[in-house]
């Protein structure tokens, strides 16, 4: 199993991750090696095994429906790259 440079570009786009053109081959080869490592799992039969998502076999705890948060807009927006009129600003979104 190995990844082509096109596949690397495609997943980089899915992940919105800019990568240098010159590094793509390295990523392709690194990822291919990782995949090779991962295919080792295929040697073990797991047909009857339930996937394990969590170490703890517990159910989700539930929170009461109470509003406890206060308005901290100024505080939270003091670390934002660009805000105006209480809004976070981003380049134009086209629908």
Partner 1 sequence: MEWETVIGLEIHAQLATKSKIFSAASTAYGAEPNTQACAVDLGLPGVLPVLNQEVVRMAVKFGMAIEAEIAPYSVFARKNYFYPDLPKGYQISQMDHPIVGIGHLDIEVDGKTKRIGITRAHLEEDAGKSLHEDFHGLTGIDLNRAGTPLLEIVSEPDMRSAAEAVAYMRKIHELVRYLEICDGNMQEGSFRCDANVSVRPKGQAEYGTRAELKNINSFKFVEKAILIEVERQIDLIESGDSVVQETRLYDSDKNETRSMRSKEEANDYRYFPDPDLLPVEITDELRAQVKADLPELPTAKKQRFKEQYDQDDETATILSSSRQLADFYETVVKLSNCDSKLCSNWVTGNFLGALNKANLNIKQSPIYADRLAGLLRRIADNTISGKIAKQVFDSMWESDATADEIIDQQGLKQITDTGAIEAIIDKIIADNPDQVAQYLSGKDKVFGFFVGQAMKATQGKINPGEVNKMLKDKLK
Partner 2 sequence: MYNKTITEQGKDLRAGKYSSVELTQTYLDRIKKHAGLNCFITVTEEFALKSAQAADKLLTTGNASLLTGIPVAQKDIFCTQGIKTSCGSKMLDNFSAPYNATVIENFNQSGAVMLGKLNMDEFAMGSSNETSFYGAVQNPWDTKTVPGGSSGGSASAVAARLTSAATGTDTGGSIRQPASLCGITGLKPTYGRVSRYGMIAFASSLDQGGPMAKSAEDAAILMQTMAGFDPKDSTSVDQAVPDYSADLNTPLAGLKIGIPKEFFSEDLNSDIASTIETAINEYKKMGAEIKQVSLPNMKLAIPAYYVIASAECSANLSRFDGVRYGYRCDNPGDLNDLYTRSRGEAFGQEVKRRILMGTYALSAGYYDAYYIKAQKVRRLISEDFTRALSEVDVLMGPVSPTTAFEQGAKTGDPIEMYLADIYTIAINLAGLPAMSIPAGFVEHKPVGLQIIGNYFTESRLLNIAHQYQQVTDWHQQTPKGFE
- Rounded to whole angstroms, the Cα distance separating 63 from 9 reads 42
Contacted entry of partner 2, partner 1, none for residue 22, CB cut-off 5 to 8 Å set by kind = none
Question: Where does residue 8 rank: exposed (0-12), middle (13-18), buried (19+ CB within 10 A)?
Answer: buried
Binding flag, residue 23, partner 2 (CB under 8 A): yes
Full DSSP string of 23-41:
GHHHHHHHHHHHHHHHGGG
32 contact partners, CB below 8 Å, separation of at least 6: 1, 2, 3
Helix (H, G, I), strand (E, B), or coil: what is residue 77? Answer: helix
Among residues 17 and 37, whose Cβ is nearest to partner 1?
A: 17
Q: Give contact residues for partner 1 (rule: CB under 8 A).
A: 13-14, 16, 53-54, 56, 58-69, 71-73, 76-77, 82, 84-95
Minimum distance of partner 1 from residue 16's CB (angstroms): 5
7 binds partner 2 (CB under 8 A): yes
Return the residues of window 27-56 that contact partner 2 according to CB under 8 A: 27, 30-31, 33-35, 37-42, 44, 46, 49-56
If one asks whether residue 73 binds partner 2 (CB under 8 A), the answer comes out as no
């Amino acid at each position: 199993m190995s990844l082509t440079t096109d596949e690397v570009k495609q997943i980089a786009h899915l992940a919105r991750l800019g990568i240098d053109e010159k590094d793509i081959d390295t990523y392709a080869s690194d990822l291919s090696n990782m995949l090779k490592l991962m295919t080792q799992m295929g040697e073990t039969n797991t047909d009857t095994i339930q996937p394990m998502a969590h170490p703890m076999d517990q159910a989700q705890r539930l929170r009461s429906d109470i509003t406890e948060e206060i308005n901290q807009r100024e505080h939270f927006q003091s670390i934002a790259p660009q805000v105006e009129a209480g809004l976070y600003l981003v380049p134009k979104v086209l629908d």
